[in-house]
Chains A and B, each alone.
Chain A
Amino acid sequence: MRKIIKFVPLILLIVVCGFFLLFIIFEKDPSNPPSALLNKDMPKFSTSSLYNKNIKLSSDNLKKNVHLSVNTNVATTEDNLEKYTLINFFASWCTPCRAEHHLFFEIKEDYPNVFLLGISHKDSPADSKKYLNEEGNPYSFVGLDQNGKIALEFGVFGLPETFIINNDGKIIFKHMGQLTKKIIEDEISVFF
């Protein structure tokens, strides 16, 4: 018994160092906690279009076997029965959003089946429109989230944030912060 107690500090040291080592090796990022919503059902929400208040889109529209016909003056997506949805929270006041914006055009081009849902977060419709005029509009649908309620449902706390939702309405990918080409190639392209 006494012999075991003697070794306790050494064993503890090894165990603790092991955990630190694993933490560093796995490249865990302290400023980017793992999402709680990953592999869970996407939260329910409903949003109206930036360009026409009467056109509404709800989370149910994004699920499999639901006929989606959204009429915006931007893009029309119809009859996409096998579809993945990429949700991107953006705002005109957010600089990294501007930096990653061009990547959505590439995604749109490379993966035409993906439904690109942009959500303008805590931004006035006029500013968002101006932003999309300047940068171009890659989104299939641009929803409004002026009071930040949808972002709250999605657990968003730092713009931009990007989610990918599969056919069953499950969140399969989440990225906080600016997207890069590398992330799209390494992590996003595997889904499509």
Chain B
Amino acid sequence: MKYQYFFRYIFYFFFIFYSNSALSIDNLNDKVKKLTLELRCMTCQNQSVYDSDSDFAKDIKTLVEDKFKEGLSEKEIKVFLTKRYGEYILFKPYFNIKNLLLWLFPFILLILSLGFFIKGLKKY
């Protein structure tokens, strides 16, 4: 079975993909960039805080920087912000019961359709 190679490689891809997603970032600037990219600039239209130059975005940028300096984690800053601005400020919604459908839907569909596809395969 020559095409085994392909599956092995697909497996490698996903292995690399998932094992490396949690690289730690030490640099303060990078941390601020990573977080502010996921925050909505509330006064702009669909722009992230990082990309925007508006007053609001500037305030949030300094706030995030200060909070990181105070030693808060990314999660704690997000909680701080959502308490005040609502979940609307997060471009990446929390993984909670309310958003369960949102997050699981694509992967459930993927598994279901894989099942149907395998069922349709000719037995030989």
Contact = CB atoms under 8 A, between A and B. Distances in A.
In the complex they form, whether A and B have CB atoms below 8 Å apart is answered with yes
Interface of A: 33-37, 40, 43, 122, 148, 152-155, 157-158
B59 A35 contact: no
B86 A152 contact: no
A1 to B, nearest CB: 12
Nearest to B41: A157
B88 A152 contact: no
Interface in B53-75: 55-56, 59, 63
A33 B89 CA distance: 10
A35 B89 CA distance: 11
Contacts of A154: 84
Given A148-B59, A152-B63, A158-B43, A43 B84 contact: yes
Contacts of B38: none
Contacts of A148: 59
- Summarize A's interface: helix, strand, loop or mixed: loop
A43 B87 CA distance: 17
B85 interface: yes
Contacts of A36: 82-88
Contacts of B77: none
A62 to B, nearest CB: 18
A34 B85 contact: no
B37 interface: no
Given A152-B63, A157-B42, A157-B43, A34 B86 contact: yes
A29 B17 CA distance: 40
26 contacts: A33-B42, A33-B86, A33-B88, A34-B86, A35-B86, A36-B82, A36-B83, A36-B85, A36-B86, A36-B87, A37-B83, A37-B84, A40-B83, A43-B84, A122-B55, A148-B59, A152-B63, A152-B84, A155-B85, A155-B86, A157-B42, A157-B43, A157-B56, A157-B85, A158-B42, A158-B43
Contact of A155 (B55, B63, B84): B84
A175 B85 CA distance: 14
Interface in B66-106: 82-88
A153 B81 CA distance: 9
A30 to B, nearest CB: 10
Nearest to A30: B45
Contacts of B84: 36-37, 43, 152-155
Nearest to A33: B88
Contacts of A33: 42, 86, 88
Nearest to B85: A155
B49 to A, nearest CB: 11
